[in-house]
Amino acid sequence: MEKIARTRVARRRRAEDSPRTTAAGRLGSPPDALVTRVRTPCLTGNGAGVGKTQQSRREPVGRKDLLDISLYICTLALSMRSILAAVALSATVLGLSGCTKIKARDLIREGNALYRSSLYAEAIEKYNEAEQLEPDGITLYWNRACAAESLVLKLKDPSKAESRHKYADLALSDFKTWLDRLEAQEERDREEYEKHRLVILKADERCDDLLNYFLNEHNKFPEREELYARIAKQYDECGRTKEADEWVVKRTIDFPDSTRAYMALAIRRYEPLWPDEECENPQFNCNLDPSERLRISDDVLRLLNKANEIDPKFRDAYTWRSMAYTQRAFAHPYSDNLEEHTPEEKLNVIYQREDLLDAWKQAKARCDIDQLPECDPNKPPEEQKEQCCMLSPRPVSIEDQALDAQMKDELKAEIEAASQAATDEDAGKKKPKKGKRGK
């Protein structure tokens, strides 16, 4: 009978300790990163649960010769005090050690229940008590780290920065302890540790620590192009725009055949062109001088052209080229009164029409890459018979395009002639008069 009771107790305890995945134990996802969107749940199951990477190396519950005897002793202690006294004479050290571990496990389970109720600070207190009883464990460090991490993610108010920093220190320390105490570390264990570490550093706004991490990764793996983008982003988040710009440019130098490198630099250079809704015309940024908008647009187009030289079917480049040409079109100033246009304003009208046509051509190129026919302009999207390219009508007909080319040449000649006449006139005014000869 005693053997049967002992077996049942041991089985029940092991069942309580075993992790069983539940949705209640899952936390949110981390931000970018090298960047992964799904994180192994910190805490799972109803027992002294552990993360997914820990399931194969939990606490020494499987040491049957020691812990099962301890379980048996502690269980009998609740109802058979006389028997306990006799057994304790022969197994005092073993019994007390086993009872201590059982108490620690009970505290961990209480902490897990509080964790699942989002009572993270209270859960940490239970884990602290368990640590006092079983300081050489592993499970409680993982669970306490997850509880502390949850508080770090929760304490976003700047006034709570001091508390957040305290819990961040605890989480970072406990995750490191968990990793160091694993009997046989696997690559996925180290990856899991790094994922949680980066989440905590970002949530606690530890800019320099994050920068150092990504720079060290770059030094170890200089061939990883994606690190250039991550380092630039981190510099931006630290408010160090100049260094961020340098890393985006450096990427095009170190990876001269990368379409994505030129694309990233083009997008960064495009940023000042984003329309300002507070402007009278919200289609462009009126805070920039037209000449500056022209210069930026030309720079963006140069970089995107480079990307398409590397890969003519690089679709994203055509999308941004269309946007750049559109912004360029708005950078040719002229008055609303067409009858009073100067030759320069007439020429700017033609330039605008050319840029709008080029923007349309980039959209057309995307459809050609996707091998999609143009949609029927007389039907709404839901009535189209097949997948097609929703392309706006051509802004300038072929006939008007030819007339614009002819008129542009005439206007350029007229402007050049007027400029030359003005130059000759100024030279005549500045020519010194000859003095009268004496008799």
Sorting pLDDT into bands at 50, 70 and 90, what band is 297? very high
Is pLDDT larger for residue 387 or for residue 322? 322
- Give me 52's structure tokens: 């997914």
Query: At residue 339, does pLDDT exceed 70?
Result: yes
Residue 69: half-sphere exposure toward Cβ, Cα within 13 Å: 13
Q: Which long-range contacts (CB under 8 A, 24 or more apart) does 246-253 make?
A: 251/225
Tell me what pLDDT residue 1 has: 47
Mean pLDDT across the chain, nearest whole number?
A: 80
Element (H, E) at 117: none
Token pair 């800019």 is at which residue? Answer: 207
Alpha helix locations (H) across 68-186?
69-79, 81-90, 92-116, 120-133, 139-154, 161-181
**pLDDT for 402-426, tens place per residue?**
999 999 999 999 999 988 888 877 7
pTM, to two decimals: 0.70
Tell me what pLDDT residue 175 has: 96
Structural contact between residues 73 and 88, judged by C-beta atoms closer than 8 angstroms = yes
Ranges 47-51, 231-235, 344-348, 418-422: which has the least confidence: 47-51
Q: What is the mean pLDDT of residues 169-184?
A: 95
Helix (H, G, I), strand (E, B) or coil at 427: helix
Structural contact between residues 179 and 193, judged by C-beta atoms closer than 8 angstroms = yes
| 389 bridge partner residues | 374
- Percent of the chain at pLDDT exceeding 90: 61
- 373 C-beta neighbours (distance < 10 Å), count: 12
Q: How far apart are CA 170 and CA 252, in angstroms?
A: 40
Token pair 């080319």 is at which residue? Answer: 405
- Percent of the chain at pLDDT exceeding 70: 75
Sorting pLDDT into bands at 50, 70 and 90, what band is 94? very low
Sorting pLDDT into bands at 50, 70 and 90, what band is 116? very high
**pLDDT for 180-192, tens place per residue?**
999 889 999 999 9
Domain boundaries, the chain: 1-205, 206-254
Is pLDDT larger for residue 26 or for residue 217? 217
Tell me what pLDDT residue 421 has: 84
Query: At residue 352, does pLDDT exceed 50?
Result: yes
Query: At residue 9, does pLDDT exceed 90?
Result: no
Query: At residue 25, does pLDDT exceed 60?
Result: no
226-238 in b/e form (b: 16+ CB < 10 A) is: ebbbbbbbbbbee
Ranges 31-40, 96-105, 123-132, 205-214: which has the least confidence: 31-40
Helix (H, G, I), strand (E, B) or coil at 222: coil
Closest CA to 100 of 77, 80, 81, 120: 77
Structural contact between residues 102 and 71, judged by C-beta atoms closer than 8 angstroms = yes
Is pLDDT larger for residue 432 or for residue 197? 197
Token pair 């302890």 is at which residue? Answer: 177
**pLDDT for 353-396, tens place per residue?**
999 999 999 999 999 999 988 888 888 878 887 888 888 889 99
Tell me what pLDDT residue 337 has: 87
C-alpha 37: how far from its chain's center?
Answer: 9
Is pLDDT larger for residue 113 or for residue 75? 113
Is pLDDT larger for residue 435 or for residue 11? 435
Tell me what pLDDT residue 101 has: 86
Query: At residue 199, does pLDDT exceed 50?
Result: yes
